[in-house]
A and B are shown apart, each in its own frame.
Chain A
Amino acid sequence: MRREIPLGITIFVGFLAIVSFFSPPLEALGEDFTLFFDIIAVFAFFLGGGNLVRIHANKLIKKKPDWIYSIVALLGFFVMLAAGLFKIGNPGDISTSVTAPGSLFAMLYYNLNLPLGSTMYALLAFYVASASYRAFRAKNREATVLLLAAFVILLGSTPFGTVLTSWIPDSFDFLEIPNLAVWIMSSPNLAGQRAILIGIGLGVVSMSLRLILGIERTYLGEDRG
């Protein structure tokens, strides 16, 4: 029963979601399901937060390598929780929004979370540069095509690209690098994007059917208890 009931839920809910698409009285069902997802997601995030605390507390208690940084992570987590859930350091009374200007939560978000997050992504610029070095080696025909497309688009987005081909006469202006970049984006790139989107769509449809028909069951895991 530990596998049959979940399987039954998947099949029933899956069919119901499909039927709701064709049946106007059940149309709102999709929105209700989305609401349920959001509510379930809250508990999933609590589970995630609890897991973070468990892992770092375990590291701390067992004095594993770099345990000192676990204190920092836990401190950051609990300070953010206290500031957000209990509205500690919030201006005004308890009814004031947690994100109100001047609140501790907003201060922590704008001065710690946001800059750290964007710097993490910005750091990838250096690794993208290193990846470019590897990708931009024309080892075969396919790699050469990739290289050329990326090169034209990169060059076409800079003033250097405009200057480089500004001597081309107006009647052949489609050969200017910025125009070539626009053409690549709107023709072959769009064709590739469409092919990928159609491929993804067909993949999702077939995977959804496998799940709803009960063929794919790996998400149920193994019975242990």
Chain B
Amino acid sequence: MDHLGLWLAGLLTLGIYSFLYRDNPWYKVSEAIFVGVSAGYWVVYEYWQNFVGKFWDQKGDQPWLWIGAALGLMMLMRLIPKIGWISRWPLSFIIGATSGLWLMLYLTTNCIAQVEATIFPLFGADFDASAIAIFSNFVLVAGTICGVVYFFFSKAHTGAFGATARVGIWTIMITFGAMFALTIMNRMSLLIGRTSFIFGEWLGLLR
């Protein structure tokens, strides 16, 4: 069984890579298997993890969980066009609760925490920071302020405000460059992982 699984994984991995040549039946079969299997996986995962684990096994101790189940059932009303509007109720619940919870969460973790982290002694706690550290601190604080100014769209980016926003763009461009570099490295490491699977685990050419 392990051997069969290894061959299946190997052949399907090559099937996905065959797309680099062009769209072909081998790729389409691999893609269709991926779509079907991963959809099945998530349905099964949700069923055991959330339905059985968080509702069915707990409903005796926490009867209010039936509200969640009732809202979930209402979601399925979407399948019946005549009463499909009932599915708006669970949707409204999700939107309302998410809005309320996220409003506080983002306000504290994103806005307040980030502003708080940016307010610190630029020259060190005892004025003992090195020249490079002071320069870095200034870059960090000025970059953050200029970046936030760039996101302020209700005022025209002209004059001194525009110049500040311009520095903000450069700061954000550096961030995008860094993110891009990290994405390249992540993808490359995945590629190396798959290549090592093909030549190592599957074909046994790497020792």
Given the complex, which residues of B lie within 8 Å of A42, measured CB to CB?
A: 46-47, 50-51, 55, 72
Q: Are A37 and B96 in contact (CB under 8 A)?
A: no
Q: Are A189 and B170 in contact (CB under 8 A)?
A: no
Q: Are A11 and B55 in contact (CB under 8 A)?
A: no
Question: Residue A94 at the B interface, CB < 8 A?
Answer: no
| Contact among B32, B48, B141, B184 with A128 in the assembled complex (CB-CB below 8 Å) | B184
Q: Are A191 and B40 in contact (CB under 8 A)?
A: no
Complex-state Cα separation, A11 to B95, whole angstroms: 9
Question: Residue A18 at the B interface, CB < 8 A?
Answer: yes
**Nearest-CB residue, chain A, relative to B115:** A198
Complex-state Cα separation, A66 to B74, whole angstroms: 35
Question: Residue B157 at the A interface, CB < 8 A?
Answer: no
Give the Cβ gap from B134 to chain A, nearest Cβ, in Å: 11
| Contact among B110, B139, B142, B197 with A115 in the assembled complex (CB-CB below 8 Å) | B197
Q: Are A145 and B173 in contact (CB under 8 A)?
A: yes
| Chain A interface size, under 10 / 10 to 19 / 20 to 34 / 35 or more | 35 or more
**Nearest-CB residue, chain B, relative to A77:** B36
| Contact among B35, B78, B98, B109 with A47 in the assembled complex (CB-CB below 8 Å) | B78
Instruction: Decide yes or no: A116 and B5 within 8 Å by CB, A14-B100, A75-B36 being known contacts.
Output: no
Determine chain B's interface SS by DSSP, over half rule.
helix
**Nearest-CB residue, chain B, relative to A11:** B96
Given the complex, which residues of A lie within 8 Å of B142, measured CB to CB?
A: 191
Q: Are B40 and A76 in contact (CB under 8 A)?
A: yes
Q: Are A150 and B92 in contact (CB under 8 A)?
A: no
Give the Cβ gap from A220 to chain B, nearest Cβ, in Å: 6
Q: Are B101 and A33 in contact (CB under 8 A)?
A: yes
Question: Residue B122 at the A interface, CB < 8 A?
Answer: no
| Contact among B37, B84, B136, B148 with A108 in the assembled complex (CB-CB below 8 Å) | B37
Question: Residue A78 at the B interface, CB < 8 A?
Answer: yes
Q: Are B194 and A118 in contact (CB under 8 A)?
A: yes
**Nearest-CB residue, chain B, relative to A7:** B92
Complex-state Cα separation, A191 to B175, whole angstroms: 8
Interface core residue of A11, A16, A43 (most chain B CB under 10 Å): A43
Q: Are A135 and B180 in contact (CB under 8 A)?
A: yes
Q: Are A205 and B106 in contact (CB under 8 A)?
A: yes
Q: Are A186 and B136 in contact (CB under 8 A)?
A: yes
Question: Residue B205 at the A interface, CB < 8 A?
Answer: no
For this complex, 8 residue pairs linking A to B, each with C-beta atoms less than 8 Å apart, are A42-B47, A115-B194, A145-B170, A149-B177, A157-B181, A201-B114, A211-B96, A225-B81
Using a CB–CB distance below 8 Å, which chain A residues touch chain B? 2-3, 5-7, 9-18, 20-21, 30, 32-50, 52, 66, 69-70, 72-81, 83-85, 98, 105, 107-113, 115-126, 128-129, 132, 135, 141-143, 145-151, 153-154, 157, 174, 183-202, 204-205, 207-209, 211-212, 219-221, 223-225
Q: Which 8 A-B pairs have the closest CB atoms?
A: A195-B147, A17-B100, A76-B36, A191-B143, A80-B40, A192-B175, A201-B110, A84-B44
